[in-house]
C-alpha cells in the first residue's frame, strides 16, 4: 500500500491554511486574554519611556542597565504617586465618613430640624426610613474594604503590576527586534507598516498626555472654587483632585462631594449649591469635552469618535480601555486608509517593497 498522496489543490490548500491560522489566532487570544491588562499597561509605558531608555542606552551602552533605570523612573513617576495618593485619600474619606456619622446623631438631627424648620419634614422622612449613622458606618466599612482591596491587598492587582514590569523589561530591551518581527508577519509594505506603527505610538502619547492635561485642568478648577468659597487648603485639595483624575474610576467628586455636604450641614447652603454645580458641570464634565478634543486632534479623529473610543473602551475593557479603546479605533482607521490606498491603485496586493520598520 502506497504512503504517497496527492497534494491538495492550491485553493483548498489556501483555505485549509487560513482555517488553521484562524484557529491558532483564537487559541492564542484565549491564552493571552488573562495577560491583556498587563500587556496594555506595559506597552503604554514602553512607548512613553522608550525615548528615555534610548538616551540612557546611548550613554551607558549596557541595555540591561539602561532598561532597569528607565523602569525605575517609570515606577517612580507613574506607579508610586497613584498608590500613595489613592491610599491617603481613601483614608481621609473614611475619616470624613466617621465624622459625618457622628454629626448625624439623633440630637444633631433634632437641632438641625429646629434651626431649619423647612427641612424638618425631610429629616422625619429619613428618620422613618433610614438609620443615617448606621448607614454611614456600613458605607465606611465597605469603603475601607474596597480601598484595601484596591490599593493594598488585591492579589490580582499585585500580579498584574509585577507582570506589567516584567513585560516592560523585554519591550524596552528588545523593542527593535519585536517591531521587526511583527513587520515580517504582517502583510504590509514598509510605508503601510510605518503608518500603522506611527498611529499606534501617537495614540498612546495622545491618550496619556491628554489625561494628564485634563487632570491638571480639573485640579486647577477644583482648587479655584475651593479658594473662591474660602475652603481650607485650596492648593492641596486642587492637587489631590488633579491626581484623582488620573486614577481610573476615581475623580475629583471624591473631594468636592464631602466638602459640599459639610457646607450644607454648617448651614452654608449657597456655598454648597455653588460647589455642587461647579463640581458637576465644570470640573466633572470638562474631561468629556477637553479630552476628546485633545486626543482627537492628535489622532485626526472627530471629537465624537474619540469620545466613543475612550468611554466605550473603558466600558468594555475596564480601566485599561482608556488606552486600548483609542488604540483599536486608530488601528482600524489606519487599516481602512491602507485598504483605500490599495483600492485606488487597482488591487488588494501590497506594494512590492515590504520590510519591517527598523
Residues 153 and 196 in one domain: no
Domain for residue 14, yes or no? no
pLDDT of residue 166: 93
Domain for residue 277, yes or no? yes
pLDDT of residue 285: 79
Domain for residue 15, yes or no? no
More confident residue, 136 or 325: 325
Residues 52 and 166 in one domain: yes
Residues 178 and 313 in one domain: no
- What is the pTM for the complete model shown? 0.69
Residue 328 has pLDDT above 50, yes or no: yes
Query: What residues make up the domain containing 52?
Result: 36-185
Residues 157 and 244 in one domain: no
The SS3 call for residue 169 is helix
Residues 148 and 258 in one domain: no
* DSSP H helices in 232-302: 234-244, 253-265, 269-277, 286-299
Domain for residue 18, yes or no? no
- Render pLDDT for 15-55 as a digit per residue (tens, 0 to 9): 888 899 899 999 999 999 889 888 988 999 999 899 999 99
Residue 354 has pLDDT above 50, yes or no: no
More confident residue, 78 or 167: 167
Residues 211 and 247 in one domain: yes
Q: Write down which residue in 120, 152, 185 finishes a domain.
A: 185
Residues 143 and 100 in one domain: yes
- Render pLDDT for 82-98 as a digit per residue (tens, 0 to 9): 666 656 555 655 555 55
Q: Write down which residue in 185, 219, 253 finishes a domain.
A: 185
Mean pLDDT of 233-240: 80
Residues 136 and 193 in one domain: no
Domain for residue 27, yes or no? no
More confident residue, 82 or 154: 82
Return the H-helix or E-strand segment holding 98.
Answer: helix 80-103
pLDDT of residue 243: 76
More confident residue, 312 or 118: 312
Domain for residue 9, yes or no? no
Q: Quick one: the chain helix, strand, coil %, rounded to 5? A: 85, 0, 15
Residue 345 has pLDDT above 60, yes or no: yes
Most confidently modeled of 37-46, 143-152, 239-248, 297-306? 37-46
Residues 196 and 257 in one domain: yes
pLDDT of residue 6: 63
> Based on the structure, what is the number of domains in the chain?
2
Residues 217 and 338 in one domain: yes
Domain for residue 24, yes or no? no
Residues 146 and 99 in one domain: yes
Domain for residue 353, yes or no? no
More confident residue, 226 or 3: 226
Q: How many residues belong to the chain?
A: 358
Q: Write down which residue in 167, 185, 203 finishes a domain.
A: 185
Residues 200 and 214 in one domain: yes
> What b/e readout covers 160-192, taking b as 16+ CB neighbours within 10 angstroms?
bbebbbebbbebbbebeeeeeeebeeeebbbeb
pLDDT of residue 46: 92
pLDDT of residue 184: 87
Amino acid at each position: 500500500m502506497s504512503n504517497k498522496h496527492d497534494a491538495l489543490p492550491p485553493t483548498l490548500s489556501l483555505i485549509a491554511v487560513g482555517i488553521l491560522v484562524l484557529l491558532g489566532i483564537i487559541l492564542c487570544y484565549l491564552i493571552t486574554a488573562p495577560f491583556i491588562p498587563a500587556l496594555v499597561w506595559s506597552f503604554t509605558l514602553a512607548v512613553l519611556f522608550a525615548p528615555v531608555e534610548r538616551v540612557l542606552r546611548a550613554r551607558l551602552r549596557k541595555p540591561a542597565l539602561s532598561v532597569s533605570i528607565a523602569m525605575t523612573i517609570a515606577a517612580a513617576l507613574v506607579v508610586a504617586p497613584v498608590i500613595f495618593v489613592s491610599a491617603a485619600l481613601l483614608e481621609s474619606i473614611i475619616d470624613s465618613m466617621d465624622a459625618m456619622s457622628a454629626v448625624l446623631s439623633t440630637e444633631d438631627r433634632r437641632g438641625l430640624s429646629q434651626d431649619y424648620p423647612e427641612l424638618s419634614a425631610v429629616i422625619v422622612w429619613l428618620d422613618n426610613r433610614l438609620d443615617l449613622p448606621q448607614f454611614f458606618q456600613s458605607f465606611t466599612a465597605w469603603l475601607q474594604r474596597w480601598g484595601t482591596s484596591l490599593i493594598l491587598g488585591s492579589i490580582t492587582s499585585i500580579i498584574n503590576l509585577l507582570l506589567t514590569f516584567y513585560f516592560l523589561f523585554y519591550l524596552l530591551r528588545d523593542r527593535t527586534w519585536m517591531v521587526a518581527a511583527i513587520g515580517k508577519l504582517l502583510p504590509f509594505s514598509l510605508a503601510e507598516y510605518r503608518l500603522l506603527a506611527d498611529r499606534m505610538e501617537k495614540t498612546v502619547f495622545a491618550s496619556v498626555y491628554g489625561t494628564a492635561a485634563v487632570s491638571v485642568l480639573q485640579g486647577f478648577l477644583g482648587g479655584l472654587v475651593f479658594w473662591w468659597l474660602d475652603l481650607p487648603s485650596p492648593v492641596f485639595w486642587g492637587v489631590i483632585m488633579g491626581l484623582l483624575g488620573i486614577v481610573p474610576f476615581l475623580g475629583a467628586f471624591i473631594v468636592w462631594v464631602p466638602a459640599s455636604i459639610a457646607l450644607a450641614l454648617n448651614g452654608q447652603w449657597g456655598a454648597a449649591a455653588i460647589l455642587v454645580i461647579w463640581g458637576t458641570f465644570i470640573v466633572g464634565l470638562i474631561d468629556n469635552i477637553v479630552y476628546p478634543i485633545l486626543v482627537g486632534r492628535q489622532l485626526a479623529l472627530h471629537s465624537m469618535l474619540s469620545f466613543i473610543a475612550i468611554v466605550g473602551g473603558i466600558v468594555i475593557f475596564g480601566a485599561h480601555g482608556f488606552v486600548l479603546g483609542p488604540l483599536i479605533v486608530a488601528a482600524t482607521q489606519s487599516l481602512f486608509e491602507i485598504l483605500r490606498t490599495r483600492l485606488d491603485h487597482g488591487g488588494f496586493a501590497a506594494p512590492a517593497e515590504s520590510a519591517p520598520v527598523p
